[in-house]
Amino acid sequence: MLRLSRALGAAVLALACALLVWRVSGQDASLSASAPAAVPASTDNWGLSFPVEGQSPVGNATVEELAQYDTWYLGDTSQKVIYLTFDCGYENGYTESILDTLKKHNAPAAFFVVGNMIETAPDIIRRMAAEGHIVGNHTYHHPDMSSIADQSAFQKELDSLAALYQETTGEELPRYYRPPQGKYNTENLRQAKALGYRTVLWSLAYVDWYVDDQPTAEQAYAKLLPRIHDGAIVLLHSTSRTNAEILDDLLTKWEDMGYTFASLDQLPAAQ
């Protein structure tokens, strides 16, 4: 099994995350714009707009379109609940601090990991599982899955990660999948569902992944506080120094706004 170095893993993930920037930045540009018409779930780039602060954003596929593939970007919008998720491409020294904060707030989370993260930080992976967090499948190598047409190649990316997780923890990997870079197509969603996975996108994120150009706390709050909404699936990166530093205060602020935190296991059932 291929063993990526931490440095190589960091470079690959940084490049991949850079491809997300126009979509997250696009949220800023469209904040005051009218809501765009949703496009079919066959689109291959997940994106959002926020027509009204504090309300659910509009995705480029609807909740109903995605639900038929057991795919979610919003949770239970009838409750003031937040689903915390972290993408983990490699260990940058902050994940244990994040876990400490989640424990302090009794907040469950989902960590979507790749092969490099499990290989280089197995003790942290075991801690995630032991503390009741979901460890989800972000694929083994973090490729653009929408470019993989062959089902066996698609499945191999997920199965390889699941096998490494089981080897590391002695447990089966929970069946939650997040496509790298937010890239997908309808066939990918069908394939993931056929393999027993729920595909989890997101309804709130910000540009937090440039490790050498981290946002200030004020910049992070400016994105994460006014745009929080009922049933939000929040995407943060565990490589972010800013996230680790502000997480305690951020969760407190959300709690003061009346929000509680729920596990992805509490997502609504597929229709």
Active-site residue set: 87, 237
What tokens appear for 26 in the block? 């696009």
Place of tokens 């639900």: 67
How far apart are alpha carbons 33 and 249 in whole angstroms? 30
Q: Residue 83 phi/psi, 5° resolution?
A: -110, 110
Tokens for 174?
Answer: 């929970």
Query: What's the token pair of residue 141?
Result: 């190598």
**Residue type, position 270, single letter:** A
Q: What is the CA radius of gyration of the chain?
A: 17
Give the pairing of strands 109-113 and 81-88.
parallel
